[in-house]
Structure 1
Amino acid sequence: MNNQTLHAARSIHPTSALRWLMLAMALSLPVLGQAKVQMLDRIVAVVNDGAIMASELDERINVIALQFQDKGQQLPPPAIMREQVLDRMITERVQLQLAERAGIKVDDASLNQAMSGIARQNGMTLEDFAAAMREDGYDWNQFREQIREDMIISRLQQRSVASRIRITDREVDRFLGSEMGKQMFEEDFRLGHILIRVPGGASPEDVQAAQSKAQDVENRLAGGEDFQQVAVSVSDGPKALEGGDLGWRPAAQWPSLFSEAALSLQKGEISAPIRSGAGFHILKMIDRRGGAEKVVTQYQVRHVLIKTDALTNSEQAHAQAQRLHDQIASGQSEFAPVAAEHSDDPGSARNGGELGWVNRGEMVPEFEDMMLNTPTGELSPVFETQYGWHFLRVDDIRDTDMSDEFRRMQATQALQKRRFEEELETWIQEKRGESYVDIRL
């Protein structure tokens, strides 16, 4: 999970199961004339003190090509494809380097939990999923490492961006009373997106050139050109290679710049270019639907948290959490007294680690992912979030009618998501601008 959390509570965002299956397929493709390819391998980009090799770029292009093939979409011209894919890889590499310097890692237990979730999406256990891939000749280790990198990037983004976002009760009240807040529970949007980027410190001439390009794109779309194909060929947005499809989201969870423009768009309509600090955006209303769910699923969760501090480093905290986990798993100790005595979350520790009924979106992504993927009554593996090392147990699951409290939580989550995405795009551009990038394509 580029984008994307750990705002108030969840997901890792491993993308769709299909993506990972196609990725696994691409990673397993045989390379003809392998010895010759190795001899001719060369650097296509230098990113700070690292490099991206031509073989890595070709491998990623194979993955994207398979995704296009599966969707029945036409591939963009090879030169544009290489530029788009390399640009994405550079952005990923910058973030992975930042994560390494910050000591952000994903241990095997957390990775296995994510892999189990992907396997379940395909109706298999993790062991069956791995065995099926190996039987077909797929490289399981490379598949795992790609997912690990996505999780690392997600943690970096959450630590660097989401942890700084604070939403006040007054903001929530004002939002719920606004027209957008009222529509939040009435309608979802699925938007297409094209970005014509304007780099930081651009001259007036550069801005004018970008605006002219955006206007030309709008004219092409108005003339009947396919939005997805145009997005693939010209967009600088994070979903360019997916045809600019940003997926479904409640109206209020879009960045305010998008939601305000999208409110008046009907299905199939395209907006005029919209200016932001990142450049010029063009939106397409792919679809819209009404009605938020009236019933939500809640999870009764308890956990133990071991924090790091001046006297306890990450390895020591991890070891202590694992020791306590094993005591409970083996039956030597009960969860509640262990949490009461050892957990560093004072609010839940006094209640034996009990967090009460938790909704989706209330916890940071690593925690929520564990919560969603841990069978009821079983202990999760030990895992790390921005707060320290945890393990948890889901005691019960229930469906409940949407309440005022839930509406406030949804509003808070929407505001956090909106602000996170606005800040994330700026942060990524800043970090990339601070990096040494030498493209040798």
Structure 2
Amino acid sequence: MARLLGTLLLSTLLLSLGARADMQPLDRIVAVVNDGVIMQSELDARVDDIAAQFRADNRPMPPLNVMQEQVLDRMILERVQLQMAERAGIRVDDAALNQALEGIARQNNMTLPQFSETLRGDGYDWSQFREQIRNEMVISRLQQRSVASRIRITDREVERFLQSETGKRMFQADFHLGHILVKVPGGASPDQVRSAKQKADDLVNRLRGGADFAETAVAESDGPQALEGGDLGWREAAQWPSLFADAAIDMQKGDISEPLRSGAGFHILKMIDRRGGAAKVVTQYQVRHVLIRADTLTTEAEARQEINRLHDQVASGELSFAEAAERASDDPGSAREGGELGWVTPGEMVPEFEQMMTETPVGQLSPVFQTQFGWHFLEVEDTRDTDMSDRYRDLQARQALQKRRFDEELQTWLQEQRAEAYVDIRLNEDS
């Protein structure tokens, strides 16, 4: 019996050693970011999601190592910002997250359950998607607090902009731009700058020679939209950073710019399309709202509970909208008027308010939603179309200057945060 047990133990030990020799690690660290880590499994999941988007759009995929480096760089920057947001106490609760997800579902003409089922059917993990949207909302709030709050546009700046030839021309067109960035690190040597400039010049020559812009951006760009083919979407000309706007103003559809130098590096633009030139008609909204905000005496949960109670009372007819606003709204200016804000022009309100305003049918009560000012619900009483007035032009000029300044300041701020963070990339290390 003793001999048999010994034989069994020896066999078990040998099997164990053999299995250990063949065993492969299930996961490993690919980057250390301050006091946190990014795991290979996290990177693989994000790469898989982006690869699925490439397949769905029928776009050729870049080499795996290029995609991994691009995605990991994006994840590092996200992680740095999420760590900053956590230290600053910036949170997005489930109610605000669900509100945002319902908005995304409405944009796709779906209810939230339908949207969830569609994503699951396409192979996405719903819980991971929810957390990714939550993280994006947290990062947006951090950026607004850290960057937008420092930007001040004076009346004099608006006046000078509107009087300038550039300002007059910019309001005549919208641009759809593609973008490639050849990054130049902070404190770069002259040789590094020359090397980056040479690469940018070579890319411009390839693109003007017929190379596909989107494929080149995916493979070569260091910009944040590289994996989207460098597509920056549509904006009014005045809202682009001045470096881009000044170069694009005379470009025609299909044109490729010369390399444009900024603190971030060398930028290459493609004019994907442009439109405009005629007088613009603006839809205005006659809106009223109720606001409940948290303060030293009212917690966030209590504020949300109170706004939901008022919403239910107005929806059931127990209270009129005006009565709810006059009795309880924390917006003193509109509360005295039964919640009336008058005619609102797009661009006057914060994005969350404007989105809800434009999505709510006339005469219906909106859902409860959150902005940086607190918890709201609103009603759109009427809409009207109006020609662009001087007041609207002033507003658009201010918005354009704010957007320009924000984009410029954001890139500088992101570079600073990335440079100050401790980052140890282990992507290409043997496990």
**Which fold has the larger relative contact order, with Cα–Cα distance below 8 Å and residues 6 or more apart in sequence?**
1
The structural deviation recorded for 1:88 is 0.9
The structural deviation recorded for 1:80 is 1.0
**Counterpart residue identity of residue 377, structure 2:** F
The separation in 1 between residues aligned to 2:323 and 2:138, in whole angstroms, is: 33
The separation in 2 between residues aligned to 1:206 and 1:355, in whole angstroms, is: 54
**Given that residues 159 and 386 in structure 1 are in contact (C-alpha distance below 8 angstroms), is that contact kept between their aligned partners in structure 2?**
no
Which among 101, 116, 136 is matched to residue 130 of structure 1?
116
Partner of 1:3: none
Which among 93, 101, 112 is matched to residue 115 of structure 1?
101
Partner of 1:342: 328
**Given that residues 190 and 287 in structure 1 are in contact (C-alpha distance below 8 angstroms), is that contact kept between their aligned partners in structure 2?**
yes
- With over 3 angstroms needed to count, the CA separation of the structure-2 counterparts of 1:55 and 1:228, relative to structure 1, is same
Q: Does 1:185 align with 2:171?
A: yes
The structural deviation recorded for 1:243 is 1.5
**What whole-Å deviation, never above 9, does each CA across 1:291-340 have from its counterpart, x for those lacking one?**
35622222222222334444444444444434443443444333323323
Which among 42, 63, 79 is matched to residue 93 of structure 1?
79
Which among 269, 272, 280 is matched to residue 283 of structure 1?
269
Query: What TM-score does the superposition give when structure 2 sets the normalisation length?
Result: 0.86
Alignment of 1:72-91 (within 5 A): 72-91=58-77
Deviation larger for 420-429 or 112-121: 112-121
The separation in 2 between residues aligned to 1:305 and 1:341, in whole angstroms, is: 11
The separation in 1 between residues aligned to 2:225 and 2:384, in whole angstroms, is: 35
Q: Aligned with 2:326: secondary structure? A: helix
- With over 3 angstroms needed to count, the CA separation of the structure-2 counterparts of 1:37 and 1:351, relative to structure 1, is farther
Alignment of 1:16-415 (within 5 A): 40-134=26-120, 138-291=124-277, 294-415=280-401
Q: Aligned with 1:130: secondary structure? A: helix
**Counterpart residue identity of residue 226, structure 1:** D
Q: Does 1:425 align with 2:411?
A: yes
Partner of 1:434: 420
- Unpaired runs of 5+ residues, structure 1, are 1-35
- With over 3 angstroms needed to count, the CA separation of the structure-2 counterparts of 1:372 and 1:146, relative to structure 1, is farther
- With over 3 angstroms needed to count, the CA separation of the structure-2 counterparts of 1:167 and 1:346, relative to structure 1, is farther
The separation in 2 between residues aligned to 1:433 and 1:324, in whole angstroms, is: 48
Q: Aligned with 2:382: secondary structure? A: strand
The separation in 1 between residues aligned to 2:57 and 2:23, in whole angstroms, is: 29
- With over 3 angstroms needed to count, the CA separation of the structure-2 counterparts of 1:137 and 1:275, relative to structure 1, is closer
Aligned pairs, number: 406
- With over 3 angstroms needed to count, the CA separation of the structure-2 counterparts of 1:387 and 1:117, relative to structure 1, is closer
- With over 3 angstroms needed to count, the CA separation of the structure-2 counterparts of 1:292 and 1:431, relative to structure 1, is farther
The separation in 2 between residues aligned to 1:37 and 1:149, in whole angstroms, is: 35
**Counterpart residue identity of residue 251, structure 2:** L
Q: Aligned with 2:91: secondary structure? A: coil
**What whole-Å deviation, never above 9, does each CA across 1:40-93 have from its counterpart, x for those lacking one?**
111111222222111111111112212222332221121111100111111122
Report the identity percentage. Answer: 70
**What whole-Å deviation, never above 9, does each CA across 1:353-403 have from its counterpart, x for those lacking one?**
211122222211222222233343344344332223333232333333322
**Counterpart residue identity of residue 105, structure 1:** R
The structural deviation recorded for 1:233 is 1.5
The separation in 2 between residues aligned to 1:253 and 1:168, in whole angstroms, is: 16
The separation in 2 between residues aligned to 1:335 and 1:59, in whole angstroms, is: 47
The separation in 2 between residues aligned to 1:430 and 1:379, in whole angstroms, is: 44
Q: Aligned with 1:405: secondary structure? A: helix
- With over 3 angstroms needed to count, the CA separation of the structure-2 counterparts of 1:314 and 1:38, relative to structure 1, is farther
Q: Aligned with 1:369: secondary structure? A: helix
- With over 3 angstroms needed to count, the CA separation of the structure-2 counterparts of 1:212 and 1:200, relative to structure 1, is same
- With over 3 angstroms needed to count, the CA separation of the structure-2 counterparts of 1:52 and 1:69, relative to structure 1, is same
Q: Which of 1 and 2 has greater Rg? A: 2
Partner of 1:416: 402
The structural deviation recorded for 1:429 is 1.3
The separation in 1 between residues aligned to 2:23 and 2:406, in whole angstroms, is: 42
**Counterpart residue identity of residue 49, structure 1:** D
- With over 3 angstroms needed to count, the CA separation of the structure-2 counterparts of 1:109 and 1:381, relative to structure 1, is farther
- With over 3 angstroms needed to count, the CA separation of the structure-2 counterparts of 1:138 and 1:86, relative to structure 1, is closer
Which consecutive aligned stretches of 4+ in structure 1 deviate over 6 angstroms post-superposition?
none
Aligned-CA RMSD value: 2.6
**Counterpart residue identity of residue 250, structure 1:** E
The structural deviation recorded for 1:254 is 0.8
**Given that residues 178 and 269 in structure 2 are in contact (C-alpha distance below 8 angstroms), is that contact kept between their aligned partners in structure 1?**
yes
Q: Aligned with 2:116: secondary structure? A: helix
**What whole-Å deviation, never above 9, does each CA across 1:145-178 have from its counterpart, x for those lacking one?**
2222222222222222223222222222221222
The separation in 2 between residues aligned to 1:38 and 1:142, in whole angstroms, is: 26
Deviation larger for 222-231 or 192-201: 222-231
The separation in 2 between residues aligned to 1:230 and 1:66, in whole angstroms, is: 19
Partner of 2:3: none
